[in-house]
Amino acid sequence: MTSFIDPKTLKTWLHDGSEIALLDVREHGQYGEAHLFYGIPLPFSRLEIDAPRLVPRRSVRVALYDEGEGGVAERAAARLAALGYTDVHVLAGGAPAWKAAGYVLFAGVNLPSKTFGELAEEVYHTPRVSADELAGMLARNDKVVVLDGRPVSEFHKMNIPGATCCPNGELAYRVRRLVPDTATPIVINCAGRTRSIIGAQTLINLGLPNPVYALENGTQGWYLNDHVLEHGGTHRYADDSGNTDLRPAANALAARFDVPTVTAQAVQQWVADAGRSLFLCDVRTPEEFAAGSLPGAQHTPGGQLMQAGDQYFGVRGARLVLFDDDGVRAPTVASWLRQMGHDASVLEGGLASGLSLAPAPAPAAPPLATIDAQALATRLEKNDVALIDLRGSMQFRAGHIPQARWSIRPRLAADTKNETRQLVLVADDAALAAWSAASELEGAAAPLLLQGGMAAWRAAGLPVEATPALPADSDCIDYLFFVHDRHDGNKDAARRYLAWETGLVAQLDAQEKAAFRLPSSPAGSHA
């Protein structure tokens, strides 16, 4: 039987100091349009795939919510119970009930991190330069270095001309090699505001003597002021640019914000604590993680752990144990996480600590029989199968198999209820299709999965069609139109996004604002 809670009870739970996983089980587009401030996106379509990683402790208090209709949260609660979660509750009436009770729903993604960036700028008075000011510096060939604080993949989409990609989590470790001259001004940018602010303030908090600035409004501000962006950039930090010159400064910064250092033995004891959740976070680069990490660790690149923590840990109040192999990155990142209100610690000895944790158990996806591309083509000619494409709606629009219909797990049962032919599913992730079929197609003839997905279909030289208007926008619940076009030449979309970002703080209530732990009179800021 589903356990329901009302908005007032949930609001109390969110601020009572005990751990809670507040999970928004709607699809990404629905989540991004209006959600609770602490809501963790866990789409029902990916529930069994992502829940064990985001919520590893099965006895943690869990609260789910949806659109208030359709029963998605109730179905998700049943699935979590089947996975062994023992304390699951559903917000009665979903997100609309939360709003009706007088609480705020927020648009966008990574809300706590982006809001924190705005608060940090207010508190630290982080210096900034406008796009026009930076353009003038570059036009005059002034001695200035522009560092882009986003991951390499985002940098590749667009960048300020002449910038070097150095994700925020790498700044403390690499800046002295990238900018050896202590007098050269440094400008940190991102696509909008948050990572520009946090990146610049990171260097300032570390006591870097260089003049340091955030680029106001990032690449969007650059474009809005009619300056030209580069695309396809690959100029990034060198693999050998790491150095430990700022280790004393990083340790001092960690001490300033009361970041504990914990031993491997202490972490092992924490694992046995049935009342707390634990996330072991490797904050190094993807290449370093791939070369070898600690057993039981997840890759959480430091800049993104600050920017998008809800993609890596789904339990509010959990223990976060960070590590590196240099003694610079982990304490620097942890200093910010502590200010964000998280229980973050640094692992003594880092990669060399010898810590070994058992990975969070993940359920095996139920078996699903497959059909190859040629066999599917033959059966489609006979019209004795119904083809359901479970990929993203924008992928479907860009190219799909003729005769395919687009669907998504929350709607799969309804979309196929009158279908008498055998179903064939198309998916990029076989597990996603298997879980969807197991929970939503009960009683139907066993569906088949296209072996190798669309890649195999294309490789076989079989026809593909595009339908730019189908599915209709209103059906694309997995796609967030809220941020659509802001990086693709739509200045109005960019302006709306920046207005949204700067307006976040004003939407906070007193409890949400008090949960952050920014200093009241920060030392280390400079104008």
- Token code pair at residue 320: 């976060």
Characterise 515 by phi-psi region: left (phi > 0), alpha (psi -120 to 50), beta (else): alpha
Q: What is the mean pLDDT of residues 65-78?
A: 95
- Token code pair at residue 487: 């990086």
Q: What is the mean pLDDT of residues 378-400?
A: 96
Q: Among all chains, which residue has been given the structure tokens 């590749």? A: 156
Q: Which residue has the higher pLDDT, 129 or 487?
A: 129
Q: How far apart are CA 247 and CA 74, in angstroms?
A: 49
Q: What does the pLDDT look like over 215-265, one tens digit per residue?
A: 999 999 999 999 999 999 999 999 999 999 999 999 999 999 999 999 999
Helix, strand or coil for residue 480? coil
Q: At what angle are helices 194-205 and 171-178 packed, to 10 degrees?
A: 80
Q: What is the mean pLDDT of residues 470-492?
A: 82
Contacts of 270 (CB under 8 A, 6+ apart): 262, 276, 278, 319, 321
Q: Which residue has the higher pLDDT, 496 or 300?
A: 300
**Statement: residue 211 has pLDDT above 90:** yes
Q: Tell me the percentage of the chain whose pLDDT exceeds 90.
A: 92
pLDDT score at 482: 73
Q: Which of 369, 336, 322, 377 is nearest to 522 (CA)?
A: 336
Sheet containing 385-389: order of strands? 370-371, 448-450, 422-426, 385-389, 405-406
pTM over 0.85: yes
Cβ(262)–Cβ(346) below 8 Å? yes
Q: What does the pLDDT look like over 182-207, one tens digit per residue?
A: 999 999 999 999 999 999 999 999 99
Q: What is the mean pLDDT of residues 288-300?
A: 97
Q: Among all chains, which residue has been given the structure tokens 């810590």? A: 355
Predicted confidence band of residue 344 (pLDDT cuts 50, 70, 90): very high
Distances (CA, A) of 147 to 135, 224, 437, 482: 14, 20, 46, 28
Number of H helices, E strands in the chain: 24, 20
Q: What does the pLDDT look like over 148-171, one tens digit per residue?
A: 999 999 999 999 999 999 999 999
Q: What is the mean pLDDT of residues 117-124?
A: 96
Q: How far apart are CA 130 and CA 111, in angstroms?
A: 24
